Chains A and B, each alone.
Chain A
Amino acid sequence: MSGSAATAVPQREARLRSESSAVRRRRIGTALTYSVLLAIAVVYIFPFVIAVVTAFKTEPDATANPLSLVPSPATTTAFHQLYKDQDFLVWVKNSAIVTLSVTFLRVFLDSLAGYALARLRFRGRGAAFATIVAVMAVPGVVLLIPKFLMIRQLGMYDTYYGMIVPLLVDAAGVFIMKNFFESIPVSVEESARIDGASIFRIYWSIVLPMARPALVTIFILSFQGSWNELAQFIISAQSTSLNTLTKGVAQLASGQLGVGNRYPLKLAASVLMTIPVAILFFVFQRRIMNASAGAVKE
């Protein structure tokens, strides 16, 4: 009895000591986590900061002081040049036309097909689905020449149609919609059938409004995808009047014309073309993070 009382005190001290060392270790761990995260974050963010700052520099300043975060002198020359010397507004217009058409039509067509594959019963449904999955597996770069051949064959070369139509369907979007529709309880649609709704009415008035989360996902993926698309526009059109932002800016970057390196100009263009996607990204941040995790994993 007395022995146990005697040993109790050192034991408690030992425990306290080990507890405090555990707390200390955890604190060091947290500090370490933060320093690593911060260091990597700097690496990831700093280039974008540089891009924005440099867009407001003069060319000599950008070349002489690439690291400086303060443009001296600060100037909007690059932006003026974009507006004056380049067809920047034409590129913006074309990108907007293509992106908006592709995005809205894709949301519509993908959801139509996804609904048919998820819910409507008809012969050949399995085969149709298998085909779409197979098509999904073909790498896009391989399709550049084939697509060009077809666009030309159909007389769509150098038109908006040629730029837009091939992008209208993406198998991954069909896939996402199909999965979503399968998660909706069938009884809701059955109820609508008994209430007298036609198939198209059920799709339009019942199922589509319920599919908002999936539609937003497709919207984001399509918007980002078609806004950033380059290869498709290279092979489907040649007129400069049909240049999109990606194509125009890429040609600006690789073009040998002009004097000097013109980095402020190029970076100004890059910054501007990033803004719409950046806005979308920050508005739907959470959803994009979830969506991409789901979308990439076919």
Chain B
Amino acid sequence: MLKSVTRRLREPGIRGHEAGAGWLFLLPVIVILGLFLVLPIAMAVWVSFSDWNGNGSPLGTHAHWVGLQNYRHLLTTPGLDQNNFGESLRNNFYYVILVVPVQTAVALLLAVFVNRRVKFVGFFRTAFYFPSVTSSVAITILFLFLFSPSGVINKLLSYLGATGPSWMYDPRGLFHVILGQFGVTNPPSSLANGLFLGVSYWDWVSGPSIAMCVFILMAVFTTSGTFMLLFLAALQNIDESVNEAAALDGATEWRKFRHVTVPMIRPTIFTVVTLGLIGTWQIFDQIYTGTQGSPSNTTLTPAFLSFNTSFNGNEWGVGAALAFILFAIIVFFTVVTRLATRNPDRLSRRRRFLPTTTVQSGQSRVATGGSR
């Protein structure tokens, strides 16, 4: 026994120095992930509990433990920080609520159309996907131009005899504007006085500002192509015979879509919604490039606010705390979608992390079930 153990230590064995090579191969990835992901998160957790103001190192004497003060600052202590946070949450909430369903629906629609057997389908796929690969900075500038007061959209509207708003400069909430059409311009007293996170109830129900609506349209424009590809892969995975069977049963196009196609691509719909939720809560580049939160803070988002509070306001503790609250929000929404869409038919947790094939195999299972 001892002899075999010592021999094992001395001789590399038939697989050579595989363990050493394995760790060596992984080393760069582990070091970089550790250095720029794991350790930084730990450091930021510390900063979120400190009063560090950007001078020196947060690990040195410049930072002091302040407990939950930064979190309280955002969540319970009235003030500018809380007000900004409340507004950013409202803005991003409406952004998410509008972008996710619309982009999912548009992506599915595009996928259904480019899944038809028609000529030039490659051209159409390319056209719809192209906005997804271009830089968000370029797209934002393009939208700033399209929606500038004297821009393309307002020009088009003027042909229709309408006067467009000033878009990016218009802080009015969409719901407020609609209510205004019905003569409701002042808040009912029940909404006028209450405050939540420093924002009045009336302002909570404002809807996205007209400026934010531009970002919403832009998000649909840029992400629907990516999600179209996901849906397309799912659609192409559906067994043709299922559709034929439905057609033989006399189903119309719409009923076929509603009762055959949609149930079969359910897993992909969940994937798209989840990815959409994760993505939309993180909107940063567009805000940084386009408005930096203006007009009147109505395009402020938690991600941009977190950045701005830290890098420009030097309130690093508050900024870091905000980032972790955002993290919690994203985790919360992800978990809720997972729970809401849990399906006994689906794959185990572990396997869900595997790419393409999992989703597809999930679908094909549904497909065979349906064809029976």
Residues 110-165 of B contacting A (Cβ, < 8 Å)? 110, 113-114, 116, 118, 122-146, 148, 150-152, 155-156
Asked if B21 contacts A116 (CB within 8 A), the reply is yes
Asked if A116 contacts B232 (CB within 8 A), the reply is no
Asked if A267 contacts B41 (CB within 8 A), the reply is no
- A123–B19 CA distance with the chains assembled, in angstroms: 7
Interface check A261, CB cutoff 8 A: yes
Interface check B303, CB cutoff 8 A: yes
Residues 107-149 of A contacting B (Cβ, < 8 Å)? 109-110, 112-113, 115-117, 120-125, 128, 131-133, 135, 138-149
Asked if B289 contacts A254 (CB within 8 A), the reply is yes
Interface check A241, CB cutoff 8 A: no
Closest-CB distance, B103 to chain A (whole angstroms):
13
Chain B residue nearest in CB terms to A153: B57
Chain B residue nearest in CB terms to A173: B29
Asked if B229 contacts A289 (CB within 8 A), the reply is yes
Interface of B is mostly: helix
The interface residues of chain B lying within 8 Å CB-to-CB of A112 are: 25-26, 28-29
The interface residues of chain B lying within 8 Å CB-to-CB of A152 are: 57
Interface check A75, CB cutoff 8 A: no
- A150–B165 CA distance with the chains assembled, in angstroms: 44
16 residue pairs from A and B, CB less than 8 Å apart = A128-B30, A144-B284, A150-B35, A150-B36, A150-B40, A150-B43, A153-B57, A231-B288, A249-B141, A261-B148, A266-B141, A267-B145, A281-B133, A292-B129, A296-B275, A298-B355
Chain A residue nearest in CB terms to B125: A289
Chain B, interface size category, equals 35 or more
The interface residues of chain A lying within 8 Å CB-to-CB of B44 are: 145-146, 149
Q: Interface readout for A234-254 with B: 1 if CB under 8 Å, 0 if not? A: 110000000001100110011
**Interface window among B2-10, B79-87, B188-196, B318-326:** B318-326
The interface residues of chain B lying within 8 Å CB-to-CB of A149 are: 40, 43-44, 47, 58
Asked if B356 contacts A297 (CB within 8 A), the reply is yes
A-B contacts counted at CB < 8 A amount to 297
The interface residues of chain B lying within 8 Å CB-to-CB of A254 are: 288-292
The interface residues of chain B lying within 8 Å CB-to-CB of A37 are: 113-114, 118, 124
- A131–B353 CA distance with the chains assembled, in angstroms: 12
A166-B32 contact in complex given A37-B113, A292-B226, C-beta closer than 8 Å: yes
Asked if B43 contacts A174 (CB within 8 A), the reply is no
Interface check A230, CB cutoff 8 A: yes
Interface check B221, CB cutoff 8 A: yes
**Interface window among A11-19, A44-52, A78-86:** A44-52
Asked if A274 contacts B134 (CB within 8 A), the reply is yes
A144-B129 contact in complex given A37-B113, A113-B26, A230-B136, C-beta closer than 8 Å: no
A293-B30 contact in complex given A66-B150, A145-B47, C-beta closer than 8 Å: no
Asked if A141 contacts B58 (CB within 8 A), the reply is no
Chain B residue nearest in CB terms to A282: B126
Asked if A175 contacts B133 (CB within 8 A), the reply is no
Asked if A138 contacts B41 (CB within 8 A), the reply is yes
Option from A125, A165, A245, A274 in Cβ contact (under 8 Å) with B22: A125
Interface check A9, CB cutoff 8 A: no
The interface residues of chain A lying within 8 Å CB-to-CB of B150 are: 63-64, 66
Asked if B26 contacts A128 (CB within 8 A), the reply is yes
Asked if A250 contacts B323 (CB within 8 A), the reply is no
Closest-CB distance, B307 to chain A (whole angstroms):
6
A230-B141 contact in complex given A44-B131, A145-B310, A149-B58, C-beta closer than 8 Å: no
Asked if A224 contacts B124 (CB within 8 A), the reply is no
User: Which residue numbers of B lie inside 8 Å of A, CB to CB?
Assistant: 15-23, 25-26, 28-30, 32-33, 35-41, 43-44, 47, 57-59, 110, 113-114, 116, 118, 122-146, 148, 150-152, 155-156, 221, 226, 229-230, 232-233, 253, 271, 275, 278, 281-282, 284-285, 288-292, 303, 306-307, 310-311, 316, 319-320, 323-324, 326-327, 330, 353-356, 358-359
Asked if A285 contacts B137 (CB within 8 A), the reply is no
Asked if B22 contacts A67 (CB within 8 A), the reply is no
- A151–B37 CA distance with the chains assembled, in angstroms: 11
The interface residues of chain B lying within 8 Å CB-to-CB of A253 are: 137, 140-141, 144, 289-290
Asked if A51 contacts B22 (CB within 8 A), the reply is no
Instruction: Give 20 A-B pairs besides A198-B16, A231-B284, A293-B232 with Cβ atoms closer than 8 angstroms.
Output: A37-B114, A44-B221, A67-B155, A115-B25, A116-B21, A132-B33, A141-B323, A149-B43, A149-B58, A166-B32, A169-B29, A199-B17, A228-B134, A231-B307, A250-B288, A266-B145, A277-B134, A282-B126, A293-B233, A293-B356
The interface residues of chain B lying within 8 Å CB-to-CB of A51 are: 138, 142, 145
Asked if A145 contacts B355 (CB within 8 A), the reply is no
Minimum-distance CB pairs A-B, first 8: A146-B40, A116-B25, A122-B22, A122-B19, A270-B138, A120-B22, A146-B44, A228-B135
B33, B58, B118 interface centre (most CB from chain A within 10 Å): B33
The interface residues of chain B lying within 8 Å CB-to-CB of A54 are: 145
Residues 169-211 of A contacting B (Cβ, < 8 Å)? 169, 171, 174-176, 179, 198-200, 203
- A295–B47 CA distance with the chains assembled, in angstroms: 34
Asked if B135 contacts A66 (CB within 8 A), the reply is no
- A264–B226 CA distance with the chains assembled, in angstroms: 29
The interface residues of chain B lying within 8 Å CB-to-CB of A165 are: 32, 36
- A174–B124 CA distance with the chains assembled, in angstroms: 31
The interface residues of chain B lying within 8 Å CB-to-CB of A235 are: 307, 311
Asked if B138 contacts A249 (CB within 8 A), the reply is yes
- A194–B118 CA distance with the chains assembled, in angstroms: 52
- A113–B278 CA distance with the chains assembled, in angstroms: 26
Asked if B146 contacts A50 (CB within 8 A), the reply is yes
Asked if A30 contacts B38 (CB within 8 A), the reply is no
Asked if B311 contacts A142 (CB within 8 A), the reply is no
- A277–B129 CA distance with the chains assembled, in angstroms: 13
Chain B residue nearest in CB terms to A200: B21
A66, A165, A200, A246 interface centre (most CB from chain B within 10 Å): A66
- A270–B140 CA distance with the chains assembled, in angstroms: 9
